[in-house]
Structures are given as C-alpha cells and as structure tokens.
Amino acid sequence: MSVGPVIIITGTPGTGKSTHAQRLVDESPVPLQHINVGEWVKEKGWYEEFDEEWQSYTVDEDKVRDIPDYEAIADALGQLLDELEPIVAGGGVILDWHTCEVFPERWADLVLVLRCDHSQLWKRLEKRNYHLKKIQENNEAEIMQVVLEEARASYPAEIVVELKSESTEDLEANIARIVDWITVWKKERASG
C-alpha cells in the first residue's frame, strides 16, 4: 500500500509550482518527494530541446507535426515515464511540470493547476530573464488556460483542482487546503 498520494502540480511556468511543492514537502503529514520533472529532463540530458518543444506542443497541438525531432522527443518521453513509473508506484510523490497530459491517468490521486494573473506572471518571468518570445508564449498560454484545459481533458473532473497563486495569502490558503486533503487521504487509507 502506498505511504503517500501522488500529486501532480502543474501550471504555466512561473505560476508557483516549485514553491508549492517545496512547502508541501515541509508540511505534509505524510512524507512526499518533490520531483521537478523539467529539471530531471535537463539533468538526464535526454533531449536538450525536449522541455521547450513539449511546451510549444501544449500551446498548439498542430505544432506537433512541425517538430523536426518528434521521434527523439517521443523516445525521451518514453524513457522519462519508464523511470518515473517505479517511483510513482511507491507513492508519496509530487510531480511538478508545466504539462500533465503525458502522465498516465492511473498515476494521479490529485491534479493541482496553479493559475496567475497574466500581468503578474509577466513580471515573474521577466525576473527569470526569459526571452521576450518565451514570456509572450507563456503569457498567452496562461490567458488561454491551456494547462487547465489539458488537465481537465486528461483526468477525472473530481481530482482536478484549479488554485489561484498570485499572493502569499493564496499560497498559505492553498497549502492549508492541500494539507487537509492529504490528512483525509491518510485517514481513509488507515481505515482501509
């Protein structure tokens, strides 16, 4: 039996996924491991463009046909999922990535989609020294709620939760709400 739930935290880059994940690692009533999937992909050096291309793909599905190395990306994705599978099977994992549809539906106990006002998101991404084009693309994706639609299309409605992440108050309220959810998850598992 898993010791902890599998929580996917997704959202446009800069919405606060890593911030939320780190707080949950510290405050969850059950042990949770934070996997920053984007960092993983980079560290593994599976495919240097993978993260970026996949992001474009989620912005516009038609673009998939235009990706020159689509096979290399599909291959990298297969490897990524193979490596994640045993970790996810053990439970107690937070998967943090700007896309979520690639993860099998059966993996997720809870899918959190973080949202942020676009002008604030713009400032956060500027601080990261992103190129203007990348800021614009991400901003547009946030306005068009691309990640939320993707999550809704990929997982049952009852496990997809949209959370505002614009202020410290939002962060605190979100963490308290998720910790409550984990506490209930734990009790339900204990009573079997």
Ligand X SMILES: Nc1ncnc2c1ncn2[C@@H]1O[C@H](COP(=O)(O)OP(=O)(O)O)[C@@H](O)[C@H]1O
Give binding residues as ranges. 14, 16-19, 128
Stretch near ligand X under the rule CB under 6 A, chosen from 15-23, 76-84, 135-143, 179-187? 15-23
Contacts 24+ apart (CB under 8 A), 67-71: none
Q: Which residue is nearest to ligand X (CB)?
A: 16
Name the nearest CA neighbour of 27 among 183, 191, 192, 186.
183
Cα–Cα distance for residue pair 192/190, rounded to 1 Å: 5
Q: Which is nearer to ligand X, 15 or 58 (CB)?
A: 15
- Contact with ligand X (CB under 6 A): which of 49, 101, 162, 170? 170
Interface with ligand X includes 5 (CB under 6 A)?
no
Interface with ligand X includes 10 (CB under 6 A)?
no
Interface with ligand X includes 11 (CB under 6 A)?
yes
Mind spelling out the 3-state secondary structure of 135-192? HHHHHHHHHCCHHHHHHHHHCCHHHEEEEECCCHHHHHHHHHHHHHHHHHHHHHHHCC
- Contact with ligand X (CB under 6 A): which of 15, 55, 138, 154? 15
Binding-site residue ranges for ATP: 14, 16-19, 128
* Coil/strand/helix, residue 10: strand
Residues binding ligand X (CB under 6 A): 11, 13-19, 124, 165-168, 170-171
